[in-house]
Amino acid sequence: MTGEMNQVPEDAKSLIPKLVRAALAQDSQRVESLARMAARRLRKTDPDLAEEVADALVQHGASASPLRTFGLASAPADHDSQLSLLRFEEPEDVPPPVLGESEQHTLNRFVLEWTSRSKLVSRGLRPPTSLLLVGPPGVGKTHTAYYLADLLKLPLFLLDLSATISSYLGKTGLNIRAALDYARSQPALLFLDEFDAIAKRRDDPTDLGELKRIVNVLLKELETWPSNGIVVAATNHPDLLDNAIWRRFDQVIRLGAPGRQARQELIERYLGGALLKDGQELTHVFVDLTDGLSGADVSRWAERVLRQTVLTDSDAIRIAFQELPAVWPMRSQAGLRRAFSKSVKAFLGDSVSSREVGSWLGVSHSTVLHHLKGDETSG
């Protein structure tokens, strides 16, 4: 829905929790009843929003796909399992990914060129339509795809590998062709996650020929993808991709563990001014302690901290430290305490006592003094 929450009248707001419960319970009749009630209540204060709700109800049927609300036909399905080959998503309010300077520049360039595609086409230039995201798990590949779809206001289709890949010879290729044909038939962002599963190198001696056919299909599709849509592919294993695939992507962004600036942005985004000591922000301390974590790990840690600060009256700094082992299982408690102690003292100096640092760590001030002296065995 397009209306902001603060524009929804109070009597319509009261229906939102009920709608959520009915949807989670998959009670379609209850959802429709509540949605009709919401449309009636919105009619006077926000007629456009009421019309959008009503249109969604009109388009909905017992076996209808939510795609019909957008004037789209149902996505193709595997002939045998009847599972949909594509999942439909509507990303909304997706925050920008936290990227390094070079990666951000590449992403901004891609967005600028795609949004300026009419100008480029008028000059005989082909606008970019494909983006390859490379990097280990947790670095933001999926988030970046969702952000692009939200930013560019494109429906997002995800290729469902569990439904697409078949044990029957030739079936996987047919499924991929059907999914690609559907995705390119309307303005959309097609997200091919785990891309290496279907774009493997064609020099596998055990391949019976289907792999070569699939890669050949992908090569042709990427080269001729319509300019009103985008293909975003993501892989954790770039070494498995066929060499020719690389040349078909307009841009390649290699994502890695976030640097210092990126970690600081992530922590500030989630925790804001929660990590305060006498008015001084201790974000820098936790930027040090999260060095080496992926962006997903940093976000997961910050969310854990937020949950505990909401539910308890404990010091946010203490909670922030206590939650670190959950995302740093390979680091010892003593190592984390030592790093925290040294970073806090380096940042705050004499304005913080060893006893206060110990209260954050849950240890005695003498243990903190050992850590500050570099005692590797204390803990």
Domain ranges of the chain: 5-64, 86-254, 260-372
Q: What pLDDT is attached to residue 334?
A: 87
Q: At what angle do helices 365-372 and 333-348 cross, to 10 degrees?
A: 80
pLDDT in tens, 272-298: 878 877 777 788 899 999 999 999 999
Residue 63 pLDDT class (50, 70, 90 cuts): very low
DSSP SS3 for 362? coil
Indicate the length of the chain as a whole number: 379
The residue behind tokens 């480029």 is: 120
End-to-end CA distance of the chain: 53
pTM of the model: 0.78
Q: What pLDDT is attached to residue 262?
A: 92
User: Which tokens belong to 300?
Assistant: 């997961």
CATH class of 86-254: alpha beta
Distance CA 53, CA 50 (A): 5
pLDDT in tens, 93-116: 899 999 989 999 999 999 999 999
Q: Write the CB contacts of 238 (distance below 8 Å, at least 6 apart in sequence).
A: 134, 196
Which range of 22-26, 35-39, 265-269 scores highest in mean pLDDT? It is 265-269
Q: Is the distance from CB of 238 to CB of 86 less than 8 angstroms?
A: no
Q: What pLDDT is attached to residue 35?
A: 85
DSSP SS3 for 276? strand
Q: Is the distance from CB of 99 to CB of 107 less than 8 angstroms?
A: yes
Residue 92 pLDDT class (50, 70, 90 cuts): confident
The residue behind tokens 């240890």 is: 363
Mean pLDDT value of segment 27-39:
82
- Name the nearest CA neighbour of 148 among 106, 111, 175: 111
Q: Write the CB contacts of 89 (distance below 8 Å, at least 6 apart in sequence).
A: 146, 149, 155, 156, 157, 158
Pure H helices in 315-353: 316-322, 324-327, 333-348
